Amino acid sequence: QSQELSQARIDYHVALQALQEHGTRMVCSGKMHTDRICRFDYLCYCSEAEEFVFFHSNSSVMLPNLGSRRFQPALLDLSSVEDHNTQYFNFLELPAATLKFMPKPVFVPDVTLILNRFNPDNLMHVFHDDLLPAFYTMKQYSDLDDEARLVFMEGWGEGPHFDLYRLLSSKQPLLKEQLKNFGKLMCFTKSYVGLSKMTTWYQYGFVQPQGPKANMLVSGNEIRQFAKALMEKMNITRVEEMEKDGGSAEDEKEKEKRDEYIVVFSRSTTRLILNEAELIMALAQEFQMRVVTVSLEEQSFPSIVQVISGASMLVSMHGAQLITSLFLPRGATVVELFPFAVNPEQYTPYKTLASLPGMDLHYVSWRNTKEENTITHPDRPWEQGGIAHLEKDEQERILASKDVPRHLCCRNPEWLFRIYQDTLVDIPSFLELLKEGMKTKPSLKKSKPASTVHPGRVREPQCQTSVQTTNEAKLTVSWQIPWNLKYLKVREVKYEVWIQEQGENTYMPYILPQQNYTFSENIKPFTTYLVWVSGSNGHGRIFHLWSLCLPFR
Ligand code: UDP
């Protein structure tokens, strides 16, 4: 690799002179360390000190210039996990003049994205924390293209899924460990530091119990485009596009002809389904479909994605392998199994993914409620759920408990004990629940109204009051349709009108099909009203901004 880098496409002397004269330049986006991504010219890294270095000269730029607040707590998060205190990024500062006394820098000519992988051993973390955020950070900055260099600073080895990280660009990603090989001082000609958090949907429970992120900003569309790009890189094409969501009789027939199948994603070392064969037989019989099993232990990742990308249903025990549901075709069902005493409502990374707007996956969870069907492993090491290291009282409490109480990440022994149980799936109750769950599966056709295209705000709202008698008045309100409405196939447009007496906190809401109306009930003479007009698509969903008009007195 050092050879690869030293075939510099840049003139060394020009680069060195530029660094000495201009120093480092940094311009960031984001107001807080948690939403910041910085772009640098000539950010350097000292491998001996394991520190990034900012060289000050007369023409260096540092924006934002936070002064000492740069350390409260950090300039930015280097991983996509929000405000995690092991994932902070900062640099040290030196005058550019000190370069004279330092080892000759090696320049990295590639545009570089510098980040921390959060947990590269775990497939869910690989996708949710690293691959998706890196993919969309690269989309955000156009010079982070297929030729970009990724540098992983968390300090881990390649890990079992390094091939997936390789798909992000044509250049081999670098690990922190490898930076030493390039010499004592290494300077990135152009680099971006940090990851976009826009695509993440789950928080792991560091400050409050785990659950969906409070403010999710990603929809199924972006997840699917990412999945498509990755599949292209892996040379996978979906066997059949299930996505053609016609509802006509012909399409239905077409669908029947297709070879539909169910995938059971199996784990072979921990959190086992003890009667997997029986479960597979039952699924095949119930749905009259072929059932295929896959496991990370037995297949290559691309071959697993190939199978999943054509499946109608994915069944698996709770676990990181379920992240592969992002490769399912639209309209497929995800069935997640939970061991005894684990409440599916409290561990929802895969439910949340399946339920993202436009993801169009149906989600069903099943939980083992029969204690006799669970196999515990109290004597295993603590990280696999062993509890032998705990006080006797605590062990007994855990054994007696039938529900893991809410807890924080990551070492709660009761949680680990329960989540690493093996399960004998009770087939009759499982099939019953699944049949019930399939009843609420929306048809793809219904789930795809123009909900992704929003009409704009209503235009030219007008209102006029007229006094009838000393205690009777009328209020006439009219407006024009949103500008883009005539181009949209939105059925059933309704307008929502709120009438609020000035100074009052309450209002009277009306839903109207037409674009004007004269109100006479509850309208007082000589009163100012605030009238808010909006559109809704008939399902009670308000889809644009309010307009405001003040009536005459
Ligand atoms: N894993 C697997 N088979 C197993 C156990 C684990 O393939 O029998 C994978 C799992 O999908 C994940 C990684 O190994 O990518 C770590 O598993 P762990 O149980 O620690 O995490 P979890 O699945 O609960 O997120």
Q: Could you identify the residue written with the tokens 């087939």?
A: 427
| pLDDT value, residue 452 | 63
Ligand 1 midpoint to CA 155 (Å)? 21
* Amino acid (1-letter code) at residue 438: M
Contact 22, 41 (CB under 8 A): yes
Residue 291: half-sphere exposure toward Cβ, Cα within 13 Å? 19
431: left (phi over 0), alpha (psi -120 to 50) or beta: alpha
Alpha helices in 445-486 (DSSP H): none
Burial 81-104 (b: 16+ CB within 10 A, else e): bbebeebbbebeebebeebeeeee
In 64-181 the beta strands, taken as DSSP E runs, fall at 76-77, 88-89, 91-95, 106-115, 149-152, 174-175
Q: Could you identify the residue written with the tokens 């596009």?
A: 241
Give dist(CA 174, CA 256) in Å, integer.
Answer: 48
CB of residue 122 inside a 6 A radius of ligand 1: yes
Ligand 1 midpoint to CA 268 (Å)? 9
Query: Under 8 Å CB-to-CB from 396, ≥6 apart: which residues?
Result: none
Q: Which of 119, 122, 125, 304 has most ligand 1 atoms within 8 Å of its beta carbon, as the pocket-test mutant?
A: 122
Q: Could you identify the residue written with the tokens 């680990």?
A: 416
CB of residue 270 inside a 6 A radius of ligand 1: yes
CB of residue 319 inside a 6 A radius of ligand 1: yes
Which has the closest alpha carbon to 192: 236, 148, 232, 246? 148
| pLDDT value, residue 11 | 87
Enumerate helices (H) and strands (E) in the chain, giving the number of each. Answer: 14, 27
Give dist(CA 405, CA 341) in Å, integer.
Answer: 9
| pLDDT value, residue 247 | 45
CB of residue 296 inside a 6 A radius of ligand 1: yes
Three-state DSSP state, 345: helix
Three-state DSSP state, 456: coil
* Amino acid (1-letter code) at residue 326: L
Give dist(CA 424, CA 433) in Å, integer.
Answer: 16
CB of residue 81 inside a 6 A radius of ligand 1: no
For the CA atoms of 145, 158, 232, 304, the dihedral, rounded to the nearest 10 degrees, stands at: -160
Query: Under 8 Å CB-to-CB from 443, ≥6 apart: which residues?
Result: 247
| pLDDT value, residue 205 | 97
**Rounded to whole angstroms, what are the CA distances from 205 to 270, 280, 347?**
22, 34, 10
Task: Report the predicted TM-score, pTM, of the whole model to 2 decimal places.
Answer: 0.91
- Measured in whole angstroms, how far is the alpha carbon of residue 292 from the centre of its chain? 28
Ligand 1 midpoint to CA 391 (Å)? 28
The pLDDT tens digits for 20-69 are: 999 999 999 999 999 999 999 999 999 999 999 999 999 999 999 999 99
Ligand 1 midpoint to CA 320 (Å)? 6
Concatenate the DSSP letters of all residues of 482-531 into one string.
Answer: PTTGGGS---S-EEEEEEEETT-S--EEEEESSSEEEE-TTPPTT--EEE
pLDDT in tens, the chain (553 residues): 444 555 456 789 999 999 999 999 999 999 999 999 999 999 999 999 999 999 999 999 999 999 999 999 999 999 999 999 999 999 999 999 999 999 999 999 999 999 999 999 999 999 999 999 999 999 999 999 999 999 999 999 999 999 999 999 999 999 999 999 999 999 999 999 999 999 999 999 999 999 999 999 999 999 999 999 999 999 998 765 544 444 455 555 555 556 899 999 999 999 999 999 999 999 999 999 999 999 999 999 999 999 999 999 999 999 999 999 999 999 999 999 999 999 999 999 999 999 999 999 999 999 999 999 999 999 999 999 999 999 999 999 999 999 999 999 999 999 999 999 999 999 999 999 999 999 999 988 765 554 567 778 888 888 888 888 888 889 999 999 888 888 887 767 788 898 988 889 999 999 998 999 999 998 888 888 888 888 766 555 555 456 665 655 4
| pLDDT value, residue 244 | 45
Ligand 1 midpoint to CA 220 (Å)? 24
| pLDDT value, residue 488 | 81
The pLDDT tens digits for 414-435 are: 999 999 999 999 999 999 999 9
- Measured in whole angstroms, how far is the alpha carbon of residue 420 from the centre of its chain? 25
| Radius of gyration for the alpha carbons in the chain, expressed in angstroms and rounded | 29
| pLDDT value, residue 242 | 45
| pLDDT value, residue 458 | 86
Ligand 1 midpoint to CA 90 (Å)? 32
Which has the closest alpha carbon to 386: 413, 423, 422? 413
Q: Could you identify the residue written with the tokens 């037989």?
A: 281
Task: Kindly state the tokens that stand for 512.
Answer: 């109207």
Which has the closest alpha carbon to 226: 146, 127, 294? 127
Closest residue CA from atom 7 of ligand 1: 296
ipTM of the modeled complex: 0.99
Give dist(CA 230, CA 167) in Å, integer.
Answer: 7
Task: Kindly state the tokens that stand for 312.
Answer: 């109608």
Three-state DSSP state, 151: strand
**261-265 and 313-317 as β-strands: parallel, antiparallel, unpaired?**
parallel
Closest residue CA from atom 3 of ligand 1: 267
Atom number in ligand 1 closest to CA 321? 11
Please count the other Cβ atoms lying within 10 Å of the Cβ belonging to residue 292.
15
How does DSSP classify residue 283?
H
409: left (phi over 0), alpha (psi -120 to 50) or beta: beta
